[in-house]
Amino acid sequence: MAGALAKRCKVFDMKVIGFTRTACEVQYFDQIVDLKNVLSAIRQLDYLVVLAPYTLENEGIVNSSVFSEMKESAYIINLARGKVVDDKALIQALKNGEIAGAGLDVFTKEPLPSSSPLWDLDNVIIIPHMGGMSESYVRQAMPVLEHNLKAYLENDYGLMLNKVVR
């Protein structure tokens, strides 16, 4: 997903910086930054697009430290998982003008409660967890569904892919 987005950004002559825990080169990225150096690289961004998977290691990884390093004119777009971004820190950053705005497809609690302050912020665009939908979604998702159904029917839950756990 990140590579596909990077390719599209390059069409608009954008500089594309990726963040990772493992050193690698990825086509269409101008720079890959180790997560240990994320705060210094964050200062360069006009848009922070979050595509990280949810893991315990990634929980809250986009937090007040990240927001405080972002430009006041920068935007965050979260297409990852809700728990990757610290909601309270995001709301504070948006209210305090630390960042210009946010485009949000995912939230810590879904559906987003009507009591969430995000609904009332003029600098936020909210969409209902559909950012990954495309014409090719079924073609891409079907192999995972088939694999998981087979593992389920064979009582081999350890082989299931993309498991949702509590």
**Other CB atoms closer than 10 Å to residue 70's CB: what's the count?**
23
* d(C-alpha 2, C-alpha 13), whole Å: 16
| 147 is an active site residue | no
* d(C-alpha 149, C-alpha 143), whole Å: 10
What DSSP state is assigned to residue 49? E
Q: Which residues contact 119 (CB under 8 A, 6 or more apart)?
A: 112, 126
- Residue at 5: amino acid letter: L
- Residue at 16: amino acid letter: V
**Given the residues 81, 135, 139, 147, the one annotated as active site:** 81
| 129 is an active site residue | yes
**Given the residues 8, 21, 72, 110, the one annotated as active site:** 110
| 135 is an active site residue | no
* d(C-alpha 12, C-alpha 163), whole Å: 36
**Given the residues 43, 129, 139, 154, the one annotated as active site:** 129
* d(C-alpha 99, C-alpha 67), whole Å: 7
C-alpha radius of gyration, the chain, whole number: 17
Active site (catalytic) residues: 81, 110, 129
